Amino acid sequence: MKTRLYLLITLLLSLSLLLMACNGAADPVVEEPPAVEVEEPAVPEPEVEEPVEEVVEPEPEPEPAFTEEDLDAAVNAMLGRMTAYNTIRPDALNEALAEDPPFILDVRRPAELEELGHIPGAVHVPLNDLHENLDKLPSFDTPIVTYCAVGWRCTIAMTAMETLGWQNVRALVGGSFGGWANAGYEIVDGFPPEAEVLNAASPDPELLAEVQQMMANIPQGFGVITTDDLFAKLVDTPDVLLIDVRRAEELEDNGIIESDNQMQIAIEDFVAMRDMWPQDKDAEIIIYCGTGHRSTIAMTIMWMYGYTDVRSMKGGIAEWRADGYPVLGGAEPEEADLDAAFANFIDNMVAYNTIRPAALNELLIEDPPPFILDVRRPAELEELGHIEGAVHIPLPEIGDNLDLLPSFDTPIVTYCAVGWRCTIAMTALSAMGWTDVKALVGGSFGGWVNEGYPVVDGPAAEAMVLNAASPDPALAEALGDMLRNVPQGFGVITTDDLALELIDKPEMQLIDVRTVGEVEENGRIESDGQLLIPIEAFIERMDEWPADKDMEIVIYCGTGHRSTIAMTIMWSYGYTNVRSMKGGLAEWSADGYPVVEFAQ
């Protein structure tokens, strides 16, 4: 009931409201207040930051791990500790092997060892393989001697090893293995045992990479250029760059090669003055020095810096001048007056400057005895002993050891195995100025032993430096050079070999140095174009010698002594293919070979 009443009231109210609206009842008027301008507070616009472009700094390029300045330090260290340009001669090496042997490194090709043998105790690593076999080398402070055929490759090896950190490496000079062999020092046939891996030294890896790259690219020929080839090149390519690495005083004494494109940088300053080197690393460069050793060091250094066309002149300015090529400046070289030296020797010969064992034995009991000079190889003394009191200087080394000889007027007797080498030595020393030099003949040391005279076992005592004579420097140089280059075999040709060669080579030049009376009495070897020039007139009639200094010449006499004197004289004048017949005409006839009468 209540609910219905509530709904009714609600309905009535809703109808009332509806009727009021339909009758348009007006809305009450409301006056709006006058508009008041209200200033809106200024709202600052927000600052908008302009976008800033981020600048990314480029990362610095990494510095190279190894620079030329690092190489400078290594090479300068090597140059700074050089002594005698890191060289050693055969006699000094032989002494070292007997006392405290160094590590010996043979850098020749295998075929060279197979043919010629090697120095005892050597380790063999060919130069072109050295960079891959450094583990076979000893510690940095071990003394090392490198050698090759003539001294070129071992200098390259020495320079590379010293740059890598080895501190006592020397190159065998004086003809290297050839000089060692010619001096008669011991040689072992064939190859040495395979080298052991030592891993005893650790070069800086980055420096090692640089040096290995250089050694892997050593050119064929090892950078050698001869004096003849350089002279031709300077004519055809005058803009080739020459670098002279001698000291200033050497230039003053010996002059320089003439060239408009040349610089002088002493080897001692070679890297310190690197800014003088050409910028173009492909430039053609030829380096020279006094003998070829320092220029080979400099060439190797430039290869390390990446220069691709650098060579070293063989023999240096000494060989350039000896070959007759011109120089600028320098003192005029004194030429050896060989004519006067040999003429004086021949004029003053007594019995052709010979002495026999019995006469020598008598002299040895006198006071003072003569100076005895043994010119054999060391191995011969070791095996057979020597004459008591003898001084030992192998024949090829006499010119390098004149300070061990006595005064010019001291009697000297030279001897060897059979009398051949001592005659060569007697001839050279007599020409240099010694006035009383005799060669022991009659079998020389063999004859001495066979006649029962005393012998002392083993090598002779070390010779004393006397500095007692001063030969003319030009003569000493010329004759010393001749002795250093005496051929293997010492110029001997046997009667059998000569008989065969006369059949095969009828153009061979024979020279008979006997007197006319001997030839008339004993006949001569049959040969067309043969010369008869008695040894007494050999210099006086030298205009009759063959003009071609490379011609094959055989000289003979009665026994082989005078022909060996004549052969030695011709070698001194630059003849390259002269031999002396062993035993002379006496042996030729005894061996049954024919002789013909002499027709004047």
Residues designated catalytic: 557
Query: What is d(CA 520, CA 219) in angstroms, rounded to the nearest whole number?
Result: 60
The token pair that represents 30 in the structure block: 């409301």
Residue pointed to by tokens 């070979």: 593
Which of 441, 458, 436 is closest to 387 using CA atoms? Answer: 458
Query: What is d(CA 259, CA 255) in angstroms, rounded to the nearest whole number?
Result: 12
For residue 141, the tally of other CB atoms under 10 A from its CB is 11
Helix 338-347, helix 420-432: angle, nearest 10? 110
Residue 438: in which H helix or E strand, if any? Answer: strand 437-440
Q: Are 86 and 170 in contact (CB under 8 A)?
A: yes
Q: Are 579 and 492 in contact (CB under 8 A)?
A: yes
- Cis peptide bond upstream of 368, omega within 30: yes
Residue pointed to by tokens 């010369």: 531
Residues 6+ apart with CB under 8 A from 351: none
Give the distance between the most distant pair of CA atoms in the chain: 193
Query: What is d(CA 227, CA 225) in angstroms, rounded to the nearest whole number?
Result: 7
SS3 state at 581: strand
For residue 61, the tally of other CB atoms under 10 A from its CB is 6
What is the phi/psi pair of residue 294, to 5°? -65, -35
The token pair that represents 58 in the structure block: 């480029």
Which of 437, 445, 383 is closest to 406 using CA atoms? Answer: 437
The token pair that represents 558 in the structure block: 């009665």
SS3 state at 373: strand
Q: Are 378 and 459 in contact (CB under 8 A)?
A: yes
Which of 463, 459, 409 is closest to 436 using CA atoms? Answer: 409
